[in-house]
Structure 1
Amino acid sequence: MRGTALAVTLLLLVSLLPLAAAQEVKGPAAERVIFRGLGSQDIAEQEIRAGNIDLFFYNLKSEAARALRARGDLTLIEVPSSTVSIVLNPAPAPAGELNPFSIREVRYAMQYVIDREAVATRFYGGLAMPMYTHVSPTDLDYLTVRDVIVSRNIRYDPEYAKEIVSNAMRKVGAELRDGVWHYNGRPVTVRVIIRPEDERREIGLAFASELRRLGFNVEEILLEFGPAIQRVYSTDPRAFAWHAYTEGWARGGIERYDSTGINQFCAPWLGNMPGWREVGFWQYENPELDTLGQRIFRGEFRDLAERNELYRRMTALCLDESVRVWVVTVINAFPASKSVRNLITDLVAGVRSPFSLREAYVEGRDTLRVGHLWVDTERTTWNPVGGFGDVYSVDIWRYVVDPGLARDPVSGKTIPFRSSFSVETAGPTGSLQVPADAVIWDASTGSWRRVSPGTTARSKVTFDMSLYIGKPWHHGRPITWADVLYPIYQAFEISYNPDKNRIETAIAVTSRPYLETVKGIRIVGDRYLEVYVDYWHFEQDKIAEYAAIGFPSMPWEVLAAMDELVFARRRAAYSDTSAMRFNVPWLNLVKELHGRMLVEVLRDFSERGFVPRGVFELDGRSIVTPEEAKSRYEAAIRWFSERRHLVISNGPFVLERFDGAAQTAELRAFRDQAYPFSKGSFSGLARRVELPTASAGRLQVVIGSASSLSVRVTGPEGVTADAFLYDRSTGTTVKAVRDVRVTGGLLTVELTPQETSALRRGLLTLEVVLRDEQNLGVVRPFAFSVEVLPAGAQTAVTTATPTTQTTTPTVTGEAPQGAFTQTALLVALVAVAVIAVVSVALLRSRRKR
């Protein structure tokens, strides 16, 4: 592949470029967007009907969603956009005490005390799918790990769990007295933190009940979002403020060939496992998971087959460890008024797409009113280095900032947004010479130094920055190369400057594995940024996504003031754990008090004529003059004096007003004529997409006879199917048929007399997974019961009944069907964030909700 280049100029992306000069309206379709926190899901529908909001950015509860679907008078967008897990605290207890979840066997036993199908059907009314690993049944990687899941035969079996727990507890010296485990004469107690706002209340209470049946003393602690997040993720696991917590995760979009989720939910190195990589906290450690995870993350494989094998090995080990026990993928229902036009949705994230509100509007009105559960909470923090960790901040921020790259909302492929790109790679085994004039930040000297002679990289990505450079920030100053350099400098400086990484340790240690692969950058002319990385992937757009290191989200002067406040003046912290450790505020740019502290720094910078030393010096000259720096400082100060916050970015909307106490945020359209996008620039993404479906009549096989199982497949041409006939009671696969191109709308699984002779009377399950990997970023799982009849029996003759075809809900003015219909679900149920430069898409695939 050496020397090959991928010039990403796909026809699809024509719709993403600024339209001709005839389109005069710069920015988004709506003039204003008002976000309002309702404080409850239960009033969302009535607020829409009353005309107080136009759409709701948080999912309805399942009962309300079913009722609304039956009425059909509002648009209902249904997508598998959230997941639920139970995280367990594996820290060892102090001497003389016992934390049962420090024992791996006890954690693994928890897999068998959760009745996932009951959760999906009873608690969610069919609007959920059982989930056994971090991989959702709709993810492309489901087929990668399916055999790992099935071979474990994970099921609801509390007696089996009790056997595992009893053996493990007795082995460490615990005794069962009157049905309660005791250690050193005291009851073994576990604290379960339960979220009461949604169905996780029922999940948590059911889990606590199962723990009692196993013999544990249980404290049920119901806490809403802010207090729960604080108690679990900001405390040392050894403090045992919690033993188990009902987590909820909002999915950021379609994930093709996942490299982030498996690390986020399994590997300690990324900072999302108990201990959270914070200095002084006890840490869950697992070097094998870290090694496997970093190989996947950094593209250290030769081909798809090796990548998949690494992924399977890591998933199996993650299941063995069971620090997280997965429960369900939830089909979230987002309601909207039928008056909303041009709402672009994602097959997984739904309305949580960076495209959703750019073209949306209500006929006859210039304001779009969006409801959410909350706009601000105790844990909602707006800062691009160690904040933006919850859905409430990010769901607004994504319309204030323009990303360099995005993912297509249907295929999930990485596409240019504000930067086109080309890729040259010598991977997986070759190398490219990094040019001698490429540079890298050297924290030890505080300067950009040229790369060492002979430096090589596996891939080079060239980003066209012309839609950034010279275009305006919201405060009116033009974006320059200084805005590109500063976040790159900031990432390396925090990670490798010992004084700074002692303060923001969690950010530093989780960023280094990525930064180690960045071998150099080079500015070419006034338009191009070259990034050299030791990374390879068989899909070259993934290489571009990995190398997306220089896309500015905030002006450099704001980042510099933040650095001064955090590292020099020690009056704030980027991360929550550092804020707690040093007893300073967690820096939040929407808080007026924090803005005032930053303005104080900016005024000082302006008075001193300060220019960050070394940061802007390339080839012996500075690309920022003191006069230019002063104009930047003054522009940021003016911004704060007018709005009382310091959220300044470059996207379609300006954050005009933020009132956390009132649970409101107001966005105003950015209409600067130099802004590169106009109304209609993204309308090509509001397209209807036909999803494949499967249906079947009565399925039967006869022992000792040749049998055929026929499934009707409807949908677009070119669908590929995988079919698995297996025994759910044992996890044994009877027959697997893979990579079948469906023709004529019929999928047939043939069994020979020899294969049926080995069967027993009873029921089997036929799981059919439909996919179209080139066009769709999700798979469609369906499951059907198969009767096994005795030898000589006659099979019934039935005709497959087609299911309703489904479409993505992207056409407004109608009540489009959800991406995953109730029918499909029921048959399936039978069976710039971690750090400014490391992109959100890379390191935060899901956010807390």
Structure 2
Amino acid sequence: MAPRSYIPLAALALIAGAIATVLIIGEQRGADTDASNRGEPGDPAERRGALVDEIIFTDESDPGRLTALIEHGSHHLFTQGIDSATIFRQAQDSEQVDHFLSHGTAIELTLNPAAFEDEQRLNPFREPRIREALNRLIDRRHVAEELFGGLAVPRYLPINTAFPDYARLAETARSLELKYRHDPERAEATIAETMEARGAERREGRWYYADEPVTLTVLIRTEDNRERVGDYIANLMEDLGFTVERLYRTAEEASRIWMTGDPAAGRWHIYTGAWVSTVINRDIGDNFNYYYTPRGRPDPLWQAYEPTEAFSEAAERLERRDYTSVGERQELMEEGLTLAMENSARIWLADQLSVWPHAADLEVAGDLAGGLSGSQLWPFTLRFSDRVGGRVVAATPSMLTEPWNHVAGSNWIFDRMILRGLTDSAVLPDPFTGLYWPQRLDSAEVTVTEDAPVNRTLDWVSLETAETIEIPGDAWIDWDPEEQRILTVDDRHEDGLTARSRVVLHYEDDYLERRWHDGSQVSVADVVLPWILSFARADEDSPLFDPSHLPEFEVYQRNFRGWRITDTDPLTVEVYSDQVYPDAENLVAARIPAAQPWHVVNLGIQAERRGELAFSSSKADRMDVEWLNLVSGPSLEVLRGYLRAAAEAEQVPFEQALGEWLREGEAAERYRALDTWQQERGHFWVDDGPFYLHSVRPVEGSIVLRRYPDHPDPADKWLRFTDPRIPELEIDGPLLVEHGEDLELTVRITYAGEPYPDEEIETARFLLFDRDDRLALKGESEPDGDGQWRIRVPAEALETLGTGANSMELAVTSRSVALPAFATHAFATLPAGGPEADSQEEE
């Protein structure tokens, strides 16, 4: 133990971090006085692109310091959602700190269902009945209220309670939640019965198999509240008579055990997992396929999954959207939820409420699911409330965690958050509804076959149906690696081909006049190259082949039916697919081809072909070379060599196919621009977003983004998305109702104290449960004007409830916000005549 006169390590870290931050910020101030934190009063509509001049990202792994850092003015926001009730209270009590909440983080237990190689070791979770029984063993309310300090809500099912599908499936969801509610005695009986059937025996309260204690290894993440969850679960298993080994591990350490390790080796039984949805998912039908079947991921754990034939079929149909009506989808979803609970390869525990602290004078559009790190609108909405311009300092728990490249670079959420500030996507998701809005598109046309249940909400998309959709013979569908040419539908399908959907993308008039950050002009080749490269990386005979790319490519090929460019003035693209989505806007988003600066990607292509670098981590490990990094490390010197060679030869990748899409002299222009860029910036990251990557300093732990002044959009374009209008509910009604009377309830739906417009309410559905928690009645509330709604239950329906306590549950969904709002009203039914009648009958 250190002497008491020593300064605690936490205090040393605070001092060191503050000094580093001051040095970094001070250096930036000296380098560019225009990018100051002062900013100037002004009209955002008169500005282009970002509303602040500069963002400095600094390393900060201790969220406990954040409130003090914001109060002292050295930082403005944190890029990680906080799950600490203590820090939340600190933020609430501070006048200098504001916050918003997100709802997209799910906490669960991942179970190992494999048969162990060592046959003398029993894996209880090989048995679906034991996995299923865990749902009743765990007190989810305790997890949400005690372990997460109220910053979570109980969750039972593989659907987020804050997403639209939960409200659509409320009846089935509530039924399953009641079926699997906390019942430890029943859970213990089921587990004991199944263990004995497998040949285990309980001696003096401990389980044995083959005369050895049955030991469970609980793999516990240490960075957040999952450490408390892991200890809680381990205690429960010990109480049941299992011997428990607790492995406390960080994310990287745990990943090598549960995700990439062989589950049959038996190194773990339970892992404290968490998953983040970065956007509101309006269709979670593919969750079953992803979380419960070998088709979900190529990792060893997923290959150990053995869903029943019925569950596998339902999951695959939902992933393919293989249904012809909303009703059929609803039935498949209900079947999937029921079978998922019986399977229980995962035990869902809670939906975490993440707190995102920021300076009180800062505004930003956080996503209701993904918060700040998941928001795609943060670069367009980040601003000081009283001024235009200025510098923002953001603390992030991790950055440059993995190498950055456009093809298969870092997928860590904190790296992706920074990259979203550098990128300009063709469409952007509404942070409150999950529907997509156009950014670089003017409009889109969607045509689906008559059996495809697709709806349209926003006017920028048109929707039509057709009996059949014939694919034009000149549509591109494949790549010939030997002849280095694009193959058409006519080349591959002499008898023609049809699809379930056609999407026509109309880009902005000046889309091909835009510039990449290095000053080079955008061209059609930037859109065509990523598509060709995807085929080359799936070709076993290609030097670009990457086995880790195959699962993603196979999913793509399963539904892809061709695409073609029909015009370049403006750019117009048609895409054909057999996969559909419930929302036409999101169907469009899924069909947009990627756009990447072809001259930058080409340097990686040449380096991988010659075995010096690799786009993906998996291939880099297999080849024993560097994982391609465009912003730092040994890759930079390798790339400089390939840039010189490419510039001398005016090199074009896949030139036979791309050549026709290049402007005269484009290759020479591109490489000149890139050479100047990397000499000035020290890196090769070129993009087209509202910010450009000004500098990367891995040693100092900072990344600097600066406003790109030539961005085409007015800076106020997306400011309407900074305030989610989440409905607030209040139910008034009697607490006692006698038989023979109707039940009348008044519901007030408001926001910020004002009535919620009736036309913005999508549904206001009620469920009536009797004293045994059985669903007795369901229906829709009726609008009564000025934000008031009515629920009426006729006397004859109340008669079926008998006497005793009942509950009315209301779920309201808004067209403006996808997050459902819930309210409950408890009441009791009495015999006619009230309590006096009861006492007279008893006498």
Question: Same fold by TM-score, threshold 0.5 exceeded?
Answer: yes
**Which residue matches 2:576?**
532
Q: SS in structure 1 opposite 2:537?
A: helix
**2:409 matched to 1:366?**
no
**Which residue matches 1:227?**
253
Quick one: which of 513, 517, 521 aligns to 1:478? 521
Is the contact between residue 257 and residue 268 of structure 2 (CA under 8 Å) also seen in structure 1?
A: yes
Q: 1:753 to 1:649 in 2, by over 3 A?
A: same
Counterpart-to-counterpart distance in 2, 1:562 and 1:625:
22
Counterpart-to-counterpart distance in 2, 1:574 and 1:731:
55
Quick one: which of 717, 721, 728 aligns to 2:757? 717
**Which residue matches 2:826?**
785
Report the alpha carbon displacement of residue 524 of structure 1 after superposing the two structures with TM: 2.0
Counterpart-to-counterpart distance in 2, 1:670 and 1:455:
44
Counterpart-to-counterpart distance in 1, 2:795 and 2:86:
45
Quick one: which of 586, 611, 617 aligns to 2:652? 611
Is the contact between residue 28 and residue 653 of structure 1 (CA under 8 Å) also seen in structure 2?
A: yes
Of 135-144 and 235-244, the range deviating more from structure 2: 235-244
Q: SS in structure 1 opposite 2:441?
A: coil
Q: 1:245 to 1:611 in 2, by over 3 A?
A: same
Report the alpha carbon displacement of residue 608 of structure 1 after superposing the two structures with TM: 5.0
Q: SS in structure 2 opposite 1:485?
A: helix
**2:487 matched to 1:487?**
no
Q: SS in structure 1 opposite 2:91?
A: helix
**Which residue matches 2:268?**
242
**Which residue matches 1:48?**
70
Report the alpha carbon displacement of residue 130 of structure 1 after superposing the two structures with TM: 0.9
Counterpart-to-counterpart distance in 2, 1:794 and 1:731:
23
Quick one: which of 710, 713, 716 aligns to 1:680? 716
**Which residue matches 2:369?**
348
Q: SS in structure 2 opposite 1:393?
A: helix
Counterpart-to-counterpart distance in 2, 1:731 and 1:237:
39
**2:149 matched to 1:103?**
no
Report the alpha carbon displacement of residue 416 of structure 1 after superposing the two structures with TM: 0.7
Equivalent runs, 1:21-32 vs 2, <5 Å: 25-32=47-54
Quick one: which of 706, 728, 744 aligns to 2:741? 706
Is the contact between residue 67 and residue 90 of structure 2 (CA under 8 Å) also seen in structure 1?
A: no
Report the alpha carbon displacement of residue 142 of structure 1 after superposing the two structures with TM: 0.6
Which whole-Å deviations, capped at 9, do the CAs of 1:159-178 have from their partners, x for residues lacking one? 22222222222222222233
Q: 1:732 to 1:22 in 2, by over 3 A?
A: closer
Q: Which structure: greater helix fraction? A: 2
**Which residue matches 2:339?**
317
**Which residue matches 2:86?**
63
Counterpart-to-counterpart distance in 2, 1:54 and 1:505:
42
What is the one-letter code of the residue matched to 1:433? E
Which whole-Å deviations, capped at 9, do the CAs of 1:584-615 have from their partners, x for residues lacking one? 55444444223333444444444555432366
Q: 1:175 to 1:159 in 2, by over 3 A?
A: same
Is the contact between residue 113 and residue 126 of structure 2 (CA under 8 Å) also seen in structure 1?
A: yes
Counterpart-to-counterpart distance in 1, 2:158 and 2:130:
19
**Which residue matches 1:114?**
138
What is the one-letter code of the residue matched to 1:436? G
| Larger CA Rg, structure 1 vs 2 | 2
Counterpart-to-counterpart distance in 2, 1:323 and 1:789:
44
Counterpart-to-counterpart distance in 2, 1:641 and 1:104:
59
Using the aligned pairs only, state the percent identity. 24
Counterpart-to-counterpart distance in 2, 1:682 and 1:288:
45
Of 259-268 and 37-46, the range deviating more from structure 2: 259-268
Counterpart-to-counterpart distance in 1, 2:768 and 2:77:
42
Report the alpha carbon displacement of residue 230 of structure 1 after superposing the two structures with TM: 3.8
Equivalent runs, 1:194-273 vs 2, <5 Å: 194-271=220-297
- TM-score norm. by structure 1 comes to 0.82
Of 689-698 and 79-88, the range deviating more from structure 2: 689-698
What is the one-letter code of the residue matched to 1:406? L
Report the alpha carbon displacement of residue 502 of structure 1 after superposing the two structures with TM: 10
Counterpart-to-counterpart distance in 2, 1:374 and 1:666:
15
Equivalences, count: 755
**Which residue matches 2:4?**
none
**2:55 matched to 1:33?**
yes
What is the one-letter code of the residue matched to 2:339? L
Is the contact between residue 89 and residue 274 of structure 1 (CA under 8 Å) also seen in structure 2?
A: no
Report the alpha carbon displacement of residue 499 of structure 1 after superposing the two structures with TM: 3.9
Equivalent runs, 1:637-652 vs 2, <5 Å: 637-652=675-690
**Which residue matches 1:659?**
697
Which whole-Å deviations, capped at 9, do the CAs of 1:627-647 have from their partners, x for residues lacking one? 633543454454444444433
Is the contact between residue 293 and residue 302 of structure 2 (CA under 8 Å) also seen in structure 1?
A: no
Q: 1:538 to 1:198 in 2, by over 3 A?
A: closer
**2:611 matched to 1:556?**
no
Q: SS in structure 2 opposite 1:713?
A: strand
Of 100-109 and 501-510, the range deviating more from structure 2: 501-510
**2:85 matched to 1:85?**
no
Counterpart-to-counterpart distance in 2, 1:587 and 1:101:
40
Report the alpha carbon displacement of residue 50 of structure 1 after superposing the two structures with TM: 0.8
Superposition RMSD in Å: 3.1
What is the one-letter code of the residue matched to 1:735? L
Is the contact between residue 653 and residue 669 of structure 1 (CA under 8 Å) also seen in structure 2?
A: yes
What is the one-letter code of the residue matched to 2:158? H
What is the one-letter code of the residue matched to 2:85? S
Is the contact between residue 137 and residue 183 of structure 2 (CA under 8 Å) also seen in structure 1?
A: yes
Counterpart-to-counterpart distance in 2, 1:110 and 1:790:
40
Counterpart-to-counterpart distance in 2, 1:187 and 1:577:
38
Report the alpha carbon displacement of residue 651 of structure 1 after superposing the two structures with TM: 0.7
Report the alpha carbon displacement of residue 782 of structure 1 after superposing the two structures with TM: 2.2
Equivalent runs, 1:404-419 vs 2, <5 Å: 404-419=426-441
Structure 2 stretches of 5 or more lacking a match? 1-42, 452-466, 751-755, 837-843
Report the alpha carbon displacement of residue 528 of structure 1 after superposing the two structures with TM: 1.1
Counterpart-to-counterpart distance in 2, 1:581 and 1:238:
23
Of 34-43 and 456-465, the range deviating more from structure 2: 456-465
What is the one-letter code of the residue matched to 2:574? E
Which whole-Å deviations, capped at 9, do the CAs of 1:127-182 have from their partners, x for residues lacking one? 22111112122211013333333333122222222222222222222222333323
Report the alpha carbon displacement of residue 371 of structure 1 after superposing the two structures with TM: 1.9
Counterpart-to-counterpart distance in 1, 2:367 and 2:699:
31
Counterpart-to-counterpart distance in 1, 2:113 and 2:767:
35
**Which residue matches 1:541?**
585
What is the one-letter code of the residue matched to 1:176? R
Equivalent runs, 1:113-152 vs 2, <5 Å: 113-152=137-176
Counterpart-to-counterpart distance in 2, 1:294 and 1:89:
22
**Which residue matches 2:192?**
166
Is the contact between residue 400 and residue 655 of structure 1 (CA under 8 Å) also seen in structure 2?
A: yes
Q: 1:23 to 1:700 in 2, by over 3 A?
A: closer
What is the one-letter code of the residue matched to 1:51? G
Is the contact between residue 515 and residue 521 of structure 2 (CA under 8 Å) also seen in structure 1?
A: yes
Is the contact between residue 701 and residue 707 of structure 1 (CA under 8 Å) also seen in structure 2?
A: no
Structure 1 stretches of 5 or more lacking a match? 1-20, 796-849
Counterpart-to-counterpart distance in 1, 2:398 and 2:574:
40
Of 197-206 and 214-223, the range deviating more from structure 2: 214-223
What is the one-letter code of the residue matched to 2:167? L
Q: 1:642 to 1:158 in 2, by over 3 A?
A: farther
**Which residue matches 1:692?**
727
Quick one: which of 179, 187, 190 aligns to 2:205? 179
What is the one-letter code of the residue matched to 2:183? D
Report the alpha carbon displacement of residue 111 of structure 1 after superposing the two structures with TM: 1.3
Q: SS in structure 2 opposite 1:121?
A: helix
**2:373 matched to 1:330?**
no
Report the alpha carbon displacement of residue 102 of structure 1 after superposing the two structures with TM: 2.2
What is the one-letter code of the residue matched to 1:349? G
Higher relative contact order (CA 8 A, sep 6+): 1
Q: SS in structure 2 opposite 1:616?
A: helix
Q: 1:520 to 1:224 in 2, by over 3 A?
A: same
**2:652 matched to 1:623?**
no
**Which residue matches 2:790?**
747
Which whole-Å deviations, capped at 9, do the CAs of 1:335-372 have from their partners, x for residues lacking one? 1212214x223333333321123232235662111222
Is the contact between residue 135 and residue 142 of structure 1 (CA under 8 Å) also seen in structure 2?
A: yes
**2:491 matched to 1:469?**
no
Q: 1:589 to 1:742 in 2, by over 3 A?
A: farther
Q: SS in structure 2 opposite 1:315?
A: helix
Report the alpha carbon displacement of residue 261 of structure 1 after superposing the two structures with TM: 4.1
Which whole-Å deviations, capped at 9, do the CAs of 1:756-801 have from their partners, x for residues lacking one? 454453x4433211112x3322211223433455664369xxxxxx
**2:131 matched to 1:94?**
no
Report the alpha carbon displacement of residue 726 of structure 1 after superposing the two structures with TM: 2.3
